[in-house]
Amino acid sequence: MADRPPAEGDRTAAKAGDNRPALSLHVPEPKFRPGDTVDFSHIEVPEAGAQPRPDETTDPKDMRDFAYGLIRVLGDDHKAHGPWDPKLDPETLRTMLGHMAMTRAFDERMFRGQRQGKTSFYMKCTGEEATSVSASMALAGDDMIFPSYRQQGILIQRGYPMIEMINQIYSNKGDKLKGRQLPIMYSSREHSFFSISGNLATQTPQAVGWAMASAIKGDSRIAATWVGEGSTAEGDFHSACLFATVYNAPVILNVVNNQWAISSFSGFAGAERATFAARGLGYGIASLRVDGNDPLACYAAEQWAANRARANAGPTVIEFFSYRAEGHSTSDDPSGYRSAQERDEWPLGDPVMRLKNHLIAIGEWDEERQQAMDLEAAEYVKKTTKEAEANGILGHGLHHPFRTMFEDVFEELPWHLQEQAEQAIRERETKFPGGLDL
Amino acid sequence: MIEAINEALDISMAKDPDVVVMGEDVGYFGGVFRCTAGLQEKYGKTRVFDTPISECGIIAVAVGMGAYGLRPVPEIQFADYIYPGLDQLISEAARLRYRSAGEYIAPMTVRSPFGGGIFGGQTHSQSPEAIFAHVAGLKTVIPATPYDAKGLLISAIEDNDPVIFFEPKRIYNGPFSGYYDKPVQPWKKFDASIVPEGHYKIPLGKARLATEGEELTIIAYGTMVHVVEAVCAEKGVEADIIDLRTIVPLDIEAIEASVKKTGRCLIVHEATRTAGFGAELSALVTERCFYHLEAPVERVTGFDTPYPHSLEWAYFPGPVRIGEALDKILSE
Ligand SMILES: Cc1ncc(C[n+]2csc(CCOP(=O)(O)OP(=O)(O)O)c2C)c(N)n1
């Protein structure tokens, strides 16, 4: 260590007579840690319906308040209020509730499946269902989705066969992705759902590229991408904003602010200084901050942004202000870093309950029907899980043949992969003479 | 190995107030693999802190801190996520000393869990060491035992050049025989896990002879050292197993001496084959030991495909692949 120059700090601190104040580093700290009593009174929750609804072609310059406010529709009285009420008919509302209930039932069962060793990994979206299900309902079925890993609700809303989702999670022989991807990293071109990457935020500038392409070709389809608030720290997100605004791309950049990125609270992504919606303002992008646990507000905001994109009025950043009710994934234990009561104290409630209560309040639903719906969803997931299990579970042999490992690296199999494929099959035969499916 | 890494960080921070630890989830929570557990409590939030999820930012900030005179030890949560920070590592950190003619240095140690074997799929399993070996100005360290992990990490932190410190996560909790279906023994049961207390260093660029033998030389690092040891024990092959410990700088003397003694050389790594570090090793051995060789140099590696999820163990260069190569090389 002797040959290195002394730290600058040592030098300045040592200066005699120096009365300049010492600098100090700010390291963000969440308000509550395990054992703390939670108090969310610092979160400003404006009255439902209080926010005006600007025209979809409004200049971003005039939209500052929407990036700092919170668009809400459902009030404490469970009624819909104000100009953002999307005025959905009861049938649509029940469908929305149904998708959300199904998403929850699916999460429940898959989480258990991981605990039972049927797969290596799972991620729930409990409490965030509206940010995917409701938002996606406001889009056309062929609008292109560039998801992150917590938008299973979109596939469910789009009618992607659930058995395909489970086959993928179990990496079995029915898995369309041939057991290559981590569980929950779905892909469905048919459902305009882009292949999920494990590298955070990479999908955001890709969505912009897709939207630009759609505009270049004079298509009418728009793109929408989802990213966690923690991941907005990646350079990719900033590239996405810049390209989106420069080219006025028909794209929606949805940021799901669920307050936590594994153990790091949103402050480490800059939440102490500005809202995530406000990230868009600096780029001249229209930006909305929305109650992410209010399914009607989520729908309305996404619809606003979709209309804007379709009218060639440009991109929108939407921040869904929500809460991650469960752990980050099956590998995570949130009790190690956050207060256990946060979930119950979260001031914006639970999206499924809020929609259910709304339907009841308008006389279109009741507890019995809800119970029946939940039961039916659970039964459906159970039955589908059974069907998928017939194709195998992770690590129990019923996977894709070995040679598939070498396919799709390139369009055509080059000699070196051909050789390696033969080697893999030979190894398998050495290990299991008599042969399995190779 | 996790405890050994934690101790190395602890000792380095206690010894030098300029050492700072940062990365995603490393602060309060102590890292998703718990390598930094307890450090924030002990050294405070301005020396151990969480960062935004921005690998480019993390490495760039470490360059700036290094220029100031600190010794940052950034963690990249998985080696697969170094890529967003590659420009800062390759174009900036690696060349700062060179381009400023020594005026500025970037004395950082980028720690990152790497390698497969934990069902991590294609984005939590990669072994990108060859990329770093290819970059002038970076040192690349890969420990295979808790003892080495501690001594090498302390050396890396005290080194004045940027070091990439890859932690083979498959052996975080115990050595691995290559048989995924056999239970893993915890490190406690092995001599190599005996980690002395206090400060000690293992020089970067010095290999370890894991076992000694006359039949052939096997060059490996990280997880593969243990797999190779297990296979040799099983097959009764007596090999010089060289655990490289660092691939840059490379202990060429150890390699040369051993290959000249045995006349045969097998190279084993988990990363993909083409243009992997094994290719460099093979070229070096051929250049320097050609007239001593009794058989062509062989390589056992992962396949040239992304790391698959369900067929992870078909991808992994396990006992069968190594055994085949041993048979071939010993029969020549
Ligand atoms: C480039 C990259 N860096 C780090 C990780 C590891 N990682 C996976 S998820 C995650 C947290 C993401 O948090 P956020 O964006 O808020 O989404 P959330 O999980 O809360 O929905 C991290 C750090 C990764 N997958 N990719």
Task: Render pLDDT for A253-296 as a digit per residue (tens, 0 to 9).
Answer: 999 999 999 999 999 999 999 999 999 999 999 999 999 999 99
Same domain, A165 and A295: yes
Residues 147-186 (B) with a CB less than 8 A from some CB of A = 158, 160
CA dist., res. B222 & res. A15, Å (int): 47
Token readout for A42 is 């610092």
Q: Chain B closest CA to A397's CA: distance in Å?
A: 9
Nearest-Cα distance to chain A for B301, in Å, is: 10
Q: Note whether A406 contacts B51, CB cutoff 8 Å.
A: no
CB contact under 8 A, A199 and B274: no
Q: Are residues A122 and A244 in the same domain?
A: yes
> How sure is the predictor about A436, in pLDDT bands with cuts at 50, 70 and 90?
low
- Give the model's pLDDT for residue A438: 45
Mean pLDDT of A411-435: 89
Question: Model confidence over B216-274: pLDDT tens digits?
Answer: 999 999 999 999 999 999 999 999 999 999 999 999 999 999 999 999 999 999 999 99
Average pLDDT over every residue of A18-42: 95
- At A1 the pLDDT is 44
What Rg value do the Cα atoms of chain A yield, rounded?
Answer: 24
Domain co-membership, A219 together with A121:
yes
Question: Does residue A10 sit within a domain?
Answer: no
Does the C-beta of A229 come closer than 6 Å to ligand 1?
yes
Instruction: Determine the pLDDT at residue A2.
Output: 45
Residue A328 CB burial class (10 angstroms; 0-12, 13-18, ≥19): buried
> Are A198 and A253 found together in one domain?
yes
A334 and A424 share one domain: no
Residue B308 tokens, joined? 């698959």
Cα–Cα distance between B277 and A16 in angstroms, integer? 53
Q: Are residues A262 and A408 in the same domain?
A: no
Given this model, what pLDDT does residue B181 score? 85
Residues of A in contact with B80 (CB under 8 A): 198-199
Same domain as A264, residue A188: yes
Domain positions in chain B are: 1-178+183-193, 208-331
What was the pLDDT predicted at A15? 63
Chain A residues near residue B303 by CB distance under 8 angstroms: 405-406, 417, 420, 423-424
Average of pLDDT values for A224-243?
97
In a domain, A31, yes or no: no
Q: Are residues A418 and A287 in the same domain?
A: no
Q: pLDDT-based confidence at A3, cuts 50/70/90?
A: low
For A235, which of B28, B56, B105 is closest by C-beta distance? B56
What pLDDT, on the 0 to 100 scale, is given for residue B164? 98
Catalytic residues of B: 124
Residue A33 lies in a domain: no
Decide: residue A6, CB within 10 A, 0-12 exposed, 13-18 middle, 19+ buried: exposed
Q: Are residues A338 and A422 in the same domain?
A: no
In the stretch 393-422 of chain A, residues with CB closer than 8 A to chain B read 394-395, 399-400, 402, 404-406, 409, 416-417, 420
| B84 touches A: beta carbon within 8 Å | yes
Please give the CATH number for the structural domain made up of B1-178+183-193.
3.40.50.970
A319 phi and psi angles, rounded to 5 deg: -100, 120
Query: Does residue A86 sit within a domain?
Result: yes
The answer to whether residues A239 and A283 touch, using CB atoms and an 8 Å cutoff, is: no
**Domains B1-178+183-193 and B208-331 are alike in CATH topology:** yes
Question: Which pLDDT belongs to residue B188?
Answer: 85
Using CA atoms, how far apart are residues A256 and A71, in angstroms rounded to an integer?
Answer: 14
pLDDT tens digits for range A58-81: 999 999 999 999 999 999 999 999
Can you say whether residue A194 is alpha, beta or left, with left for phi > 0 and alpha for psi between -120 and 50 degrees?
beta
Ligand 1 centroid, distance to A289 Cα (angstroms) = 21
Question: Do residues A298 and A319 share a domain?
Answer: yes
Mean pLDDT of chain A, nearest integer: 94
CB A147 within 8 A of CB A194: yes
Structure tokens at A343: 């979930």
One domain for residues A425 and A344: no
In angstroms, the CA B222 to CA B206 distance is: 14
Whether the CB-CB separation of A308 and A286 falls below 8 Å is answered with yes
Does residue A84 belong to any structural domain of this protein?
yes
Task: For residue A142, tell me if it sits in a domain.
Answer: yes
Q: Into how many domains does chain A fold?
A: 2
- In the block, residue with structure tokens 């793109």: A223
Q: For A340-397, what is each residue's pLDDT tens digit?
A: 999 999 999 999 999 999 999 999 999 999 999 999 999 999 999 999 999 999 988 8
Cα(A359)–Cα(A94) distance, integer angstroms: 8
Strands B109-114 and B163-168: parallel
Per-residue three-class SS string for chain A: CCCCCCCHHHHHHHCCCCCCCCCCCCCCCCCCCCCCCCCCCCCCCCCCCCCCCCCCCCCHHHHHHHHHCCECCECCCCCECCCCCCCCCHHHHHHHHHHHHHHHHHHHHHHHHHHCCCCCCCCCCCCCHHHHHHHHHCCCCCCEEECCCCCHHHHHHCCCCHHHHHHHHHCCCCCCCCCCCCCCCCCECCCCECCCCCCCCCHHHHHHHHHHHHHHCCCCCCEEEEEECHHHHCHHHHHHHHHHHHCCCCEEEEEEECCEECCEEHHHHCCCCCCCCHHHHCCCCEEEEEECCCHHHHHHHHHHHHHHHHCCCCCEEEEEECCCCCCCCCCCCHHHCCCCCHHHHCCCCCHHHHHHHHHHHCCCCCHHHHHHHHHHHHHHHHHHHHHHHCCCCCCCCCCCCHHHHHCCCCCCCCHHHHHHHHHHHHHHHHHCCCCCCC
C-alpha dihedral (A142, A303, A230, A187), degrees to nearest 10: -10
- Which phi and psi angles does A374 have, rounded to 5°? -60, -45
> For chain B, which ranges sit under pLDDT 50?
none
The reply to whether A347 and A242 lie within a common domain is yes
Task: Flag whether residue A89 sits within 8 Å of chain B, measured between CB atoms.
Answer: no
Nearest in space to A88 (alpha carbons), one of A138, A141, A52: A138
CATH number of the domain within which A185 lies: 3.40.50.970
Q: Are A184 and A217 in contact (CB under 8 A)?
A: no
- Burial code (b: 16+ CB inside 10 Å, e: under 16) for B13-47 equals beeeebbbbbbbbbbbbbbbbbbbbebbeebebeb
Q: Is A199 in the pocket of ligand 1 (CB under 6 A)?
A: yes
Residue A109: other Cβ atoms inside 10 A: 18
Q: For ligand 1, what atom is nearest to the CA of residue A328?
A: 19
Distance CA B299, CA B325 (A): 8
Domain assignment present for residue A169? The answer is: yes
Residue range B208-331, CATH number: 3.40.50.920
If contacts are CB pairs under 8 Å, which of residues 121-150 in chain B contact chain A? 121-124
Cα four-point dihedral sign A393, A396, A398, A401: positive
Global pTM?
A: 0.93
Predicted confidence at residue B209, as pLDDT, reads 98
d(CA B20, CA B304): 37
How near does any CA of chain B get to the CA of A381, in Å?
23
Is residue A2 in some structural domain?
Answer: no
**Domain enclosing residue A414, as ranges:** 402-431
Q: In the 3-class helix/strand/coil scheme, how is chain B assigned residue by residue? A: CHHHHHHHHHHHHHHCCCEEEEECCCCCCCCCCCCCCCHHHHHCCCCEEECCCCHHHHHHHHHHHHHHCCEEEEECCCHHHCHHHHHHHHHHHHHHHHHCCCCCCCCCEEEEEECCCCCCHHHCCCCCHHHHHCCCCCEEECCCCHHHHHHHHHHHHHCCCCEEEEEEHHHCCCCCCCCCCCCCCCHHHCHHHCCCCCCCCCCCCCCEEEECCCCEEEEECCHHHHHHHHHHHHHCCCEEEEECCEEECCCHHHHHHHHHHHCCEEEEEEEECCCCHHHHHHHHHHHHHHHHCCCCCEEEEECCCCCCCCCHHHHCCCHHHHHHHHHHHHHC
In this structure, the residue with its CA closest to atom 20 of ligand 1 is A261
Long-range contacts, A5-8 (Cβ 8 Å, 24+): A5/B69, A6/B69, A7/B18, A7/B68, A7/B69, A7/B70, A8/B68, A8/B69
